Amino acid sequence: AQSVTQLDSQVPVFEEAPVELRCNYSSSVSVYLFWYVQYPNQGLQLLLKYLSGSTLVESINGFEAEFNKSQTSFHLRKPSVHISDTAEYFCALTLQGAQKLVFGQGTRLTINP
C-alpha cells in the first residue's frame, strides 16, 4: 500500500525566513506527487506537481519542491515566507495510472511577524 508522511504537524517561522516542509512517501511503483495548500475554511488549491522530467518543480508564488527518488522525498521549500503563506499544506500522491489521491496528515505553517 502507498502512504505519505509529513514529518511536522506544525511549523512556526518568522516572516521573511526560509522554510522547509518535509514529505516522505512509500510506494513500490511509480507515483505522481503533489503539494496542495488549504487556507482556513476553504478547499485545497494545487500548489505544484511532479509528474516526470526535472526533479525540481516551482510554483508561481515562490515555492519549490524537489523529487528525490532515492530518499523517497518531496520536500517543499520557500526562501522567504510572507504572512499570507499562513495555511495548511498537504503532500499527496497518486499511482501512475490510478486516480485517487493519498494524502499526508498536513503541516500547519504559521508565520510570525
Partner 1 sequence: NAGVMQNPRHLVRRRGQEARLRCSPMKGHSHVYWYRQLPEEGLKFMVYLQKENIIDESGMPKERFSAEFPKEGPSILRIQQVVRGDSAAYFCASSPGGFGNQPQHFGDGTRLSIL
Binding site for partner 1 (CB under 8 A): 4, 6, 32, 34, 36, 41-46, 49, 51, 90, 94-106
> In this complex, which beta carbon is closest to partner 1, that of residue 70 or of residue 99?
99
Q: How far is the CB of 38 from partner 1 (least distance, A)?
A: 9
Q: How far is the CB of 65 from partner 1 (least distance, A)?
A: 14
* Cα distance between residue 29 and residue 65, in whole Å: 20
Residue 38, C-beta contacts closer than 8 angstroms, at least 6 positions apart? 44, 45, 87, 88, 89, 90, 106
Q: How far is the CB of 61 from partner 1 (least distance, A)?
A: 16
* Cα distance between residue 5 and residue 1, in whole Å: 13
